[in-house]
Structure 1
Amino acid sequence: MGAFLYFRKIYRKQRQYWFQYMGKIMKHTTRRTFISTTLAALGAAGVAFSGAASAQGEYPTRPITIVVPHAPGGAVDSTARLFADKLRDELKQSVVVENRAGASGMIGAAHVARADADGYTLYFNASIHSINSLLYKKTIKFDAVKDFTPISMLAQGALIFSVHPQVPASNVKDFVSLLKNEPKKYTFVTSGFGSAGHLAAAQFLYETSLSSQIPIVLYKGAAPALQDLVGGQVSAMMDPMLSSLPHVKAGKLRALAVTGRERSPLLPDVPTMRESGFKDFEFYSWYGLWSPAKVPTEIVKKLDAASAKIMASAEVKERLASLGFEAAYKNSADFAKYIDSEMARYQKVIDAAHITVE
């Protein structure tokens, strides 16, 4: 309202000046000269007004919404809220997290793909965003690459390979022997079809030649999956530390390995999958920020610069570490390349393990 009153005041003064000025020149000009002079003056006035409006409208001038396509409380939501709090401080503008859960994250993704490309609707998700585009090629309602602009990769977290305490195995090698001796006795569980945990479990079973013998039971969320794992209804799971670590610390689950390239400082006595005999096994759930496609480059650069500062913060790194994650910032261009390489890797796992949508 203040800007409106300001520009109205300017307009009234300019109009008064205009009439006075035009009254003088009308006495000394032809009709043709008058028209050309008028058009030139109007053009100059338009440029001046446009510049003033641009200065008043530097992004962001209103609240930003970050869409999280999963339910509150999970790994994606927790990481998104930590990031949103810091982005609010960097941009000096309100940042709201909006949960739009359903269909393995595709409901929220479709909403963002259709949103205005003005930088006020952003998208925060994990690697499942890229995996979905490979699994649901025939039914997906958006293009996970063409309909989005990668802004920044922010964090990543290794998974915990855990089993119920009654499973008589203290390491991965022993567990593989159990599976091969009594395949019908054991089952894997995953928090969702196409999740990082799902693909990691599928890769493990493929590498041990057990894909056709050990079922992977699909759940809608980590909470119900972990509930059955803790209760002994299922045998094993690969899951982000945020949700599994408390159960491991409480003795309700036994950690056999972690899927990162190095041991986790939160579980220093638990070996990696590489140390457990799987030399090429490395799996992370990674997290990033996207916008709808065709968002202006200057807005992407501003958000990317803010992301870089946030992920370099010692406070943020410490907070992420406590949740079982690590800061893994990549700028917009590098994030796009990383997505391409990860999708190629996921496709190999999907093909090798014959993962299909039922």
Structure 2
Amino acid sequence: MTARFCAAVMAFSLAVAAYAGDAHAAYPEQPIKIVVPFTPGGATDTVARLLANKLSGRLGQSVIVENRPGASTVIGADVVARAQPDGYTLLLSGSTTYTVLPALNPSLPYDPVRSFEHVAIVALAPVVLLAQNGLAATTVQEAAALAKQQSSKGGLMYGTFGPGSAPHLAGEMFAEAAGAKMVPVPYKGSAQLITAMIGGEVSLGVDTVSSAAPQVRAGKVRALAVTGEHRVPQMPDVPTFEEAGIPQVSFVGWYALAAPAHTPAPVIDTLNRAVAQIMQDPQVKKAVSDLALEPVFLPGQAFKDRIQKEVQTFSAVAKRAEIKLE
């Protein structure tokens, strides 16, 4: 009797497992929503819509983008972190959500590692150090020397997009590498930053490559160095910080797709395979490159490893520079 009971239990367990496997194998059976924690029209939104279109074709279900901006991406990220972990609500956001905010604000309603299943990083976004045309520095090494020299006079001023932004962190990395005291000046965006540099309000600025490249080509400002492992196509003559001898300036933004924690592994595997194939599509690569981003495919573990490494790095930068976000 005991043997029969055990056999029955085993048969039932196998049946349940088979049913669950079939259910996951059938994913997706309904439309998928990708939450973007920014307003429509920006680079994050554009990448999300590109992925949504291609995922729809590969998965056989409609994939829609829902913009949930607010609180520096916290609102949208929290919506996904609290969503049903079934693969039908996803998050496409940048490193601001996954590493910058967690490094600067210990009171976030989500954890970048524990609150999500990590599908893939799909694009890298380097930043560029800019110099005012009249600045007596034509290379990043000369700018570093000038910044160090100006430390005793209050510090060289450089433009950022506000406390804790990518330009702020990259600027502080540069200041530390130069052994200099520098003064960050916040602006609402690239247009204001470039105008301030042209007008002589700040000597240096840190901006995204996509926004700065046209201004550099127009001769309004000069580009000294870009972050990342290699030069960018939009500025082929501008060296990387590593080439220029200042590898400590390593901030590179990125965009990645995630799902709520506890989303079943077969679902994540399905998404991972689909995204891997999409990011090999020449049309997709060109579309991402046209945004002045680098198309990549870095799967879940690499995504998670990057989070852990960058949170540690940015926390240390923020502590030294006394950057706090509440």
Q: TM-score, normalised by structure 2?
A: 0.84
Distance 2:159 2:234 in 1: 23
Matched, 1:169 2:137: yes
C-alpha change, 1:55 and 1:276, in structure 2 (3 Å) is: closer
1:258 equivalent among 219, 222, 226: 226
- Contact between 2:118 and 2:257, CA under 8 Å: does it hold in 1? yes
Matched, 1:237 2:205: yes
2:165 equivalent among 189, 195, 201: 195
Corresponding residue of 1:118: 86
Structure 2, unaligned runs of 5 or more: 1-11
Letter in 1 for 2:101: N
C-alpha change, 1:192 and 1:79, in structure 2 (3 Å) is: farther
Please give the per-residue CA displacement for 1:213-250, whole angstroms capped at 9, x wherever unaligned: x2212344445444544554333222221222222222
Distance 1:105 1:351 in 2: 22
- Contact between 2:164 and 2:325, CA under 8 Å: does it hold in 1? no
Count the aligned residue pairs.
310
Distance 2:117 2:111 in 1: 11
1:328 equivalent among 267, 284, 296: 296
- Contact between 2:36 and 2:92, CA under 8 Å: does it hold in 1? yes
- Contact between 1:104 and 1:192, CA under 8 Å: does it hold in 2? no
- Post-superposition offset of 1:343: 2.0
1:206 equivalent among 171, 176, 198: 176
Distance 1:107 1:226 in 2: 30
- Contact between 1:161 and 1:257, CA under 8 Å: does it hold in 2? yes
C-alpha change, 1:157 and 1:112, in structure 2 (3 Å) is: same
Corresponding residue of 1:72: 40
Corresponding residue of 1:108: 76
Letter in 2 for 1:197: P
What is the identity percentage for the equivalent residue pairs of Structure 1 and Structure 2? Answer: 38
Distance 2:142 2:265 in 1: 53
Please give the per-residue CA displacement for 1:102-158, whole angstroms capped at 9, x wherever unaligned: 222112111211222221211111111222112110x32222221111111112122
- Post-superposition offset of 1:78: 2.8
Letter in 2 for 1:64: I
Distance 2:195 2:50 in 1: 26
Distance 1:174 1:119 in 2: 51
Distance 1:193 1:79 in 2: 25
Letter in 2 for 1:131: V
Distance 2:195 2:49 in 1: 25
Please give the per-residue CA displacement for 1:30-79, whole angstroms capped at 9, x wherever unaligned: xxxxxxxxxxxxxx9xx89x96xx67993223322211112333332232
Corresponding residue of 2:64: 96
Matched, 1:136 2:105: yes
Structure 1, unaligned runs of 5 or more: 1-43
- Post-superposition offset of 1:257: 0.9
Q: TM-score, normalised by structure 1?
A: 0.77
2:263 equivalent among 272, 282, 295: 295
Structure having the higher Rg: 1
Corresponding residue of 2:52: 84
- Post-superposition offset of 1:314: 1.9
- Contact between 2:37 and 2:77, CA under 8 Å: does it hold in 1? yes
Please give the per-residue CA displacement for 1:195-227, whole angstroms capped at 9, x wherever unaligned: 33221111111122224xx22123444454445
